[in-house]
Copies of this chain bind each other. A is one copy, B any other.
Amino acid sequence: MGRRTLSGLSGPWREFSLIAALQRRFASAGPGDCLGLGDDAAAYRPRRGRLELVTCDALVENIHWKSRWCGPRALGIRAAAVNLSDIAAMGGEPERGFLILALPRASTQAFAWEIAAGVASELRRFRARLAGGDTVASAGPVMVALALQGTVPGRQLLTRSGARPGDRILVTGFLGDAAAGRRVLDAPARAWPGKKYLRGRFLRPQPRIRAARVLAQSGWVSAMLDLSDGLAGDLRRLAQASGVGARVEGGRLPISAPARVLAQRLRVPAEDLALRGGEDYELLFTAPARRIRELQSLLARRARIRATEVGEILPLAAGLCLRTADGRRRPWPQGWEHHGA
């Protein structure tokens, strides 16, 4: 792959040669596929007894990431990961990704190539594959959009709307790491402790596909979503969809040691990072109290992930409330927002 720019191939804009090259390299037919890349649409045989899932998410330069934060391969990996997380949130298995790349004319072929390679490699980790896409020139910033198809066995679909009063609220992993990582990326010169860990937690979220499958198969989970916008905003969404209230125990939020130290240095409460930080892509789910221990043990054993109980679902009339470690009630924090550059 040379350093020729996309616009310098032949004529004003030869998108075909790039698409064709990407397709030759990354096309891979899988089970059920009737066509590989290269026809007008991907065609595949749906799996019997399963529901189809489709999600899409886009990352825009200077809004969702900055070019100095990471190279094109890491960007592709991240674009795949945030979409994989949405399929996980439904209890599903990812199958086929469709990549739309909008690239400035000055981009090199190698740059586009690395993004596609990042997407393809991250999909492959979860037995999914790149099955189609479109590459377009843009007079603006880099944009990576991915549509991701997956399936879930009919009865295992997990939605946001099944939480019932008395259910416990759990989250996988740590909360607030990604928000901490973003601050590290914004001030790379500072000698943060746990700098590399936090940066990695932002740049390379781990889609909880395996944990989500364990939860979906258990049959005990009443509602689930993935934490893209922070616990405060996402739990509000789950509560609204389920028609319930909820109480979160601030003292129980799983916060990593590096995130705690960073919060201290920045003089912000670590709980704020966890509640409002966003982009952790952990799972938020609810289940009856009597199943919690077993679910936690299943997740530890079969998905090697810790799940922490952080609160309880209440009747709708109780609304949403946050209780701090010392027992005081705090107003519900506002949801997270993208902090564009």
A residues sitting closer than 8 Å to B (CB atoms) are 11-16, 34-35, 38-46, 50-64, 85-87, 89-90, 92, 96, 98, 100, 102, 105, 131-134, 136-141, 143, 145, 147-150, 152, 154, 157, 159-161, 225-226, 229, 233, 241, 335, 337-341
Contact = CB atoms under 8 A, between A and B. Distances in A.
A96 B54 contact: yes
Contact of A335 (B16, B39, B41, B140): B16
Contact of A63 (B92, B137, B339): B137
Contacts of A89: 39-41
Contacts of A147: 54, 56, 98, 147
Given A13-B337, A133-B56, A43 B51 contact: yes
Contacts of A15: 338
B53 A159 contact: no
Contact of A86 (B41, B59, B161): B41
Contact of A45 (B35, B51, B62, B138): B51
Contacts of A64: 136
A52 B55 contact: no
Nearest to A228: B40
Given A16-B229, A42-B53, A56-B133, 5 more contacts: A41-B54, A46-B50, A52-B149, A54-B147, A58-B100
The residue in A12, A147, A340 that gathers the most chain B C-beta atoms within 10 A of its C-beta is A147
21 contacts: A12-B338, A34-B51, A34-B157, A35-B159, A39-B241, A40-B160, A41-B92, A43-B90, A43-B159, A54-B98, A58-B102, A60-B102, A60-B136, A60-B137, A60-B139, A63-B136, A63-B137, A63-B138, A102-B102, A102-B145, A139-B340
Contact of A44 (B11, B13, B35, B51): B51
Nearest to A13: B338
A50 B275 CA distance: 44
A332 to B, nearest CB: 15
A39 B338 contact: no
Contact of A12 (B96, B105, B339): B339
A150 B86 contact: no
A146 to B, nearest CB: 9
Contact of A225 (B40, B62, B132): B40
Nearest to A105: B340
A334 to B, nearest CB: 8
Nearest to A16: B335
A116 B185 CA distance: 35
Given A137-B338, A138-B60, A143-B138, A41 B87 contact: yes
A41 B53 contact: yes
B143 A56 contact: no
A124 B318 CA distance: 41
A40 B140 contact: no
Contact of A340 (B13, B44, B50, B133): B13
A266 B241 CA distance: 59
Contacts of A62: 139
A80 to B, nearest CB: 15
A151 to B, nearest CB: 9
